[in-house]
Structure 1
Amino acid sequence: MKFATIPVVYVPFCLRKAFFTIRFNSKPPFSENQKYGKELHTNAAPKIMKDIIKEEHYQLEVPCSYSIDDWTVRGRADAVSTDAVYEFKFTGNVHSAPFASAAMQTAAYCKMLHRKRCYVVFVDRNDTSNVNICNVSNVEKKWDSFLGRAEALVHHLQCDEIPDIHSPTFHWECKNCQWKIVCARLR
């Protein structure tokens, strides 16, 4: 079985959900929060990069990829400067430290794009001037964890085996998952 592409954003979250979504070629439903976030990325990110982060030379939505066997893990880093990657998270409250999935995703982009530093940029979706720029530490360790998860997902997809563990990162993941009925029967 050959599907070819795994989105970077699937890897830090539940691998069972990623397996089903890729295996059945099904895109997760696009929520209102995601639509709003996409709009904020387009409109607020350039202003934040220039006015708050003070980066003059950067690119937005930079594609990156990494090959594992016959598979390619692909993504788009929100903003990339000459030596850093910035991943924006538009939230209801500005966090003081990056949560694990955001840090892993950002570290993956950093390694794929051969940059030295990476940051998760939390932006209050109701006040885009309220920003906290969080350094992602232990990039190599997070990259190794990302690769381990990606390789496990590739293995399960190649063998057409449902991952035996479901692994939600957040408490709300199962509640909002399109595969929750199927997954519940497997427990």
Structure 2
Amino acid sequence: MIVELVYEWRREAQLRRVRHPRVLYVTDLVRCPLKRRFEILFPELASQDLMGPASVAGLLLHLGIESVVAEYAARRGYSVEAEVEVARVVRLSADEYVLSGRPDIVLRAGSEPPTVVEVKTSRSDASIPYGHHVLQVQLYAWMLNAKEALLIYVTPERIAEFSLSELGARRLTEADVVRLAEETVSAAKAPRYEWECRYCRYAVVCPRKVSASP
């Protein structure tokens, strides 16, 4: 029964995620741009990981942390929004796109600019924070004009919090975002990172798959 309920929850979430050719997700800008094309062309392949234990565990952990932060941050006077959808229009050279994203948590204190919080899980704490995760919270910070952005890692070794200001990560400009969007739409740089192909469900149909060195 419980497994069926979890499947229903995951299936409904997948059905709500309908791709539109003029909508770019924040995650599109930090990963291989061909994934966006393949999600439109081969939507059934996305269901392969629908009930992957690591994926489900990560999502449940997100929900748990969001619930805890919502309760305890509210006690400190914060207004808390979880999984709220945000969007901004990005004008490229040829077309206009909507950049859409769902930061895990947005904290607001009165009329001050918000703080963005993104939660990540990792099998190891080596090399965290990862560059593509930092870029993701930079994009959320740009979209919300946030005063700060926090990246939270939950690993078997530790729970670690990184702020963009402490990392020395600069604030993105609109030109930065337009460049990333152009790269994504044109698929000029695919894969964005060579390691992506090892974990990509679309590698079986991809003409640009990068094979690991023997």
TM range (shorter): 0.7 to 0.9
Counterpart for residue 160 of structure 1: none
Shift of 1:37: 1.1
Distance 1:183 1:101, change over 3 A: same
Based on CA coordinates, which of the two structures has the bigger radius of gyration?
Answer: 2
Counterpart for residue 80 of structure 1: 106
- Conserved? CA contact 2:139–2:172, under 8 Å: no
Counterpart for residue 182 of structure 1: 205
The aligned length equals 173
Distance 1:178 1:59, change over 3 A: same
Bigger strand share: 1
Counterpart for residue 86 of structure 2: 64
C-alpha separation in 1, matches of 2:128 and 2:121 = 14
Shift of 1:35: 1.4
TM-score (norm 2): 0.67
Moved more, 11-20 or 41-50: 41-50
Identity %: 20
Quick one: higher RCO (CA 8 Å, sep 6+), 1 or 2? 1
Shift of 1:99: 1.0
Q: Which amino acid aligns with 2:60?
A: E
Counterpart for residue 30 of structure 2: 12
Counterpart for residue 7 of structure 2: none
Counterpart for residue 148 of structure 1: 179
Distance 1:51 1:133, change over 3 A: farther
| Equivalences for residues 1-187 of structure 1 within 5 A | 3-22=21-40, 24=41, 26=43, 28=46, 29-30=48-49, 31-48=52-69, 56-57=77-78, 58-68=80-90, 69-82=95-108, 83-94=114-125, 97-124=128-155, 130-136=158-164, 137-141=168-172, 144-154=175-185, 156=186, 163-169=187-193, 171=195, 173-184=196-207
Q: Which runs of 5+ in 2 are unaligned?
A: 1-19, 109-113
Shift of 1:18: 2.5
Distance 1:88 1:185, change over 3 A: closer
